[in-house]
Amino acid sequence: MTRVAVVRFPGSNCEAETCRAIERAGGSAQYAWFRDTTLDGADAVILPGGFSYGDYLRSGAIARFSPIMDAIRRHADAGGPVLGICNGFQILAEAGLLPGALVRNAELKYLSRPVDVTVERTDTPFTSAYRAGELIRIPIGHGDGRFVAPDQVLDELEAKGQIVLRYARTAASDVPANPNGSQRDIAGVCNPGGNVVGMMPHPERLADSALGSDAGHRVFVSLLESGVAARR
Amino acid sequence: MTWRVHVRILPRAGLLDPQGQAVEHALAALRFPEASNVHVGKAIALDVTAANAEDAASRVRTMCERLLANPVTEDFEIAVEDARS
C-alpha cells in the first residue's frame, strides 16, 4: 500500500483532512513531525495547509528550516512525489524546491471561497487522474496566495510546462477569476522534474462527495495510481 | 564589540505593492496630495557581535539572503549604528 507522510509543522491545521483524503483514495497516511529527520519510509510526502510559525516574517519562511526539510529535499531530489498545499506550497517556494513566491493577496483580504481552476498539466503524480484542460471548482483559503516571479522565470515556467493549475477565466462562471492577483493566473506549479507540486487551492477540503462535490479527490487518486509504491 | 544593526526591507521595485497603494490612497483621502510612490515594508533591528562595522554588515547581509528577506520579492538595506559596547 502506498504510504504518504503528512508533515505537521507548528501551526499546520489541515493535516487531518489531508490524511482522510489520502485514506479515502486508498492510501495509508502517517504523520511526520517537523523535528523528524526522516520520512520513515514513506513513498510520498504532503506539506499541508495552515499557518506554520504564525506566518511570522513571511509565510513559510521559518518552517523551511525545520529538520524534516532535509529529508523532504532528499526525497524530492531522488524523484519522490512531494505536494505542498497552500502553506505547504509557501514553504516549498521559500525552500527553493519550487519557483516563485507567494505574497499578500492583491486586495489585501484573506480569501475563503471556491475558485475555478484549469488543470493544465496532467503528467504529475498529483494531477494524472484529471483530463488536460479540465475545469474544476475547489476551495481556497489564504491571505498570501498571489504567485509572483520575475518575468523571465514566468516565461520559462510556461515554456517548460511547469504551470499545473491556473485560475480559470470563463464567462459563465459565478466566481471571480484569479481572486488573489497571481501573475499569469497561476494557482499551482511544479519543479522541472514534475515530482514536486505546489498549489494554493485545498483539494483535501473537497474530497468527499458527501460535501456535494469531490473535485479534489483525484489529486490523491492520482498519487495512489502513480505507482510510486511499486517503484521503490 | 556589539553593533546595533537596522535592516529595512521593501517590496522589490516594480512588483505590485497593494499595501503601499492602499496607504497612498488613504493619504490622498486625508489631503496629503504631495505623497506619492508609497511602499510598505518592514524593519528589523538586531544586535550583532562583530570585530568591526563591516563584518557586522556582512553577516547581516548573509542573514538577509538566507532568512530575513525573500530574494524573489524583496530588496533590503542595512545600516550599522555605532557600537554599543
Q: Tens digit of pLDDT for each residue in A2-33?
A: 999 999 999 999 999 999 999 999 999 999 99
Query: What is the crossing angle of helices A217-225 and A15-24, to 10°?
Result: 60
Task: Please give the mean pLDDT across all residues of chain A.
Answer: 96
Interface pTM, i.e. ipTM = 0.89
Q: Which of A178, A179, A104 lies closest to A144 in space, CA to CA?
A: A104
Distance from CA of A91 to the nearest CA of B (A): 12
Nearest Cβ partner for B73 among A105, A107, A148: A148
Task: Please give the mean pLDDT across all residues of chain B.
Answer: 95
Residue A204 bears catalytic tag:
yes
Is the pLDDT confidence value at A229 over 80?
no
Q: What is the 3-state secondary structure (H, E, C) of A83-98?
A: EEECHHHHHHHHCCCC
Residue A14 bears catalytic tag:
no
- Mean pLDDT of all residues in B60-79: 97
Q: Which of A107, A90, A108 lies closest to A99 in space, CA to CA?
A: A90
Domain B2-83 belongs to what topology? Answer: Mth169; Chain: A , (3.30.1280)
- Mean pLDDT of all residues in B29-40: 96
Domain ranges across chain B: 2-83
Pick the catalytic residue from A17, A86, A142, A190.
Answer: A86
- Mean pLDDT of all residues in B55-60: 98
φ, ψ of residue A143 in degrees (nearest 5) = -105, -25
Interatomic CA distance for residues B60 and B52, integer angstroms? 13
Q: Which of A115, A121, A208 lies closest to A167 in space, CA to CA?
A: A115
Check: CB of residue A189 under 8 Å from CB of residue A75.
no
Domain ranges across chain A: 3-231
Is the pLDDT confidence value at B10 over 80?
yes
First to last CA, chain A: 12
Options 1.10.3720.10, 3.40.50.880, 3.40.50.10710, 3.40.50.2300; CATH for A3-231 is: 3.40.50.880
Task: Tally the C-alpha atoms within 13 A of residue A180's C-alpha that lie toward its C-beta.
Answer: 32
Q: Do A57 and B67 touch (CB under 8 A)?
A: yes
* Confidence at A227, pLDDT banded by 50, 70, 90: confident
Distance from CA of B65 to the nearest CA of A (A): 12
Q: Do B22 and A108 touch (CB under 8 A)?
A: yes
Is the pLDDT confidence value at A231 over 70?
no
pLDDT digits (tens, 9 = 90+) for A135-194: 999 999 999 999 999 999 999 999 999 999 999 988 888 888 999 999 999 999 999 999
Q: Do A148 and B67 touch (CB under 8 A)?
A: no
- R_g of chain A computed on alpha carbons: 16
